[in-house]
Amino acid sequence: MDQIILNTFARNIFRKQADCDYIAARSNYRTRLRQQFLWSAQQAIEKYLKAILLFNGRSARYILPDVSEKEFIHNLDTLLVEIQKISHLKFEIEPDDQKFLSYLSHQGGKNRYLSTSAYNTSDAIHRLDRLVWHIRRYCQYIPDRGIGFHEAVPGMREAFVSSINDPSWKKLPHSFTLFAGEAGDLERLIKSDPKDPARLALLWANLFYGKKKRLHVIYDSFSSTEIPPNENMHDYPNVDWKVLEKFVKL
């Protein structure tokens, strides 16, 4: 398997689109579009996770590529489990971040057609920012040898991983960047024209990405819920729900 090709897919397709989905999610939150926020957020995390698998020579399509053709589809929890199996990566994620990831998997992925009750909390934007920051640090190729060399350099990969997991980054998250040659759309936008609408969407109320450290932000937050008709059956006493299932998945 040519790792260079996998890296190109991971970098130019998955991570690039994930960066765009993340910015779209932040825009949707700001305009109070709940389901659009959740779907874009789920898509961003899904693509970041799949990019990590590709950067590490793993399938981003099949769960067990040599055993079955069962696909990950939109299951963030299963993707996370596969990434945690990559021992050299020493992937770290906080329990609260993992909980939010599962929430996005259900509300953003499985519930994108509002087949069950939907909701978001007022702190969802900050939880997304933190989750993206923690996951995206690993969304790059971590080399174990120099360019053009056939033999691995002892300790090289470990040094790169140690740098990613350095606890000091959590105190200054805005100062973390992907390794040289791996910078993506977020890094480019932060350095772009301050009036760039995508840059404005990225930096708005963001404690993790920007040119300087921000201890707090002031913004209009929102939370909302919505219940589909199939979970309010008492409001429709004469409806045959089995018949309706021929028209829409409940």
Amino acid found at 228: P
Q: Which of 214, 138, 209, 213 is nearest to 178 (CA)?
A: 138
pLDDT of residue 171: 94
Phi/psi for 226 (5° steps) reads -150, 135
Q: For residue 128, what are its two tokens?
A: 């997304």
Q: How confident is the model at residue 53 (pLDDT cuts 50, 70, 90)?
A: very high
DSSP state of 60: S
pLDDT at residue 250 above 80? no
**Over the chain, what is the mean pLDDT?**
91
pLDDT at residue 161 above 80? yes
Q: How confident is the model at residue 67 (pLDDT cuts 50, 70, 90)?
A: confident
Output 145 or 120, whichever has higher pLDDT: 120
pLDDT tens, position by position, 75-132: 999 999 999 999 999 998 999 999 999 999 999 988 888 889 999 999 999 999 999 9
202 found inside a domain: yes
Q: Into how many domains does the chain fold?
A: 1
Amino acid found at 125: I
Q: For residue 209, what are its two tokens?
A: 């990405």
205 found inside a domain: yes
Token pair 């190109």 in the structure block, residue: 8
Domain, as residue range, for 201: 3-244
Residues forming beta bridges with residue 71, ordered by sequence position: 62
249 found inside a domain: no
Q: Which long-range contacts (CB under 8 A, 24 or more apart) does 187-191 make?
A: 189/23
250 found inside a domain: no
Q: What is the pTM of this model?
A: 0.93
How far apart are the C-alpha atoms of 189 and 194, rounded to whole Å?
9
Mean pLDDT of 178-204: 91
Q: How confident is the model at residue 153 (pLDDT cuts 50, 70, 90)?
A: confident
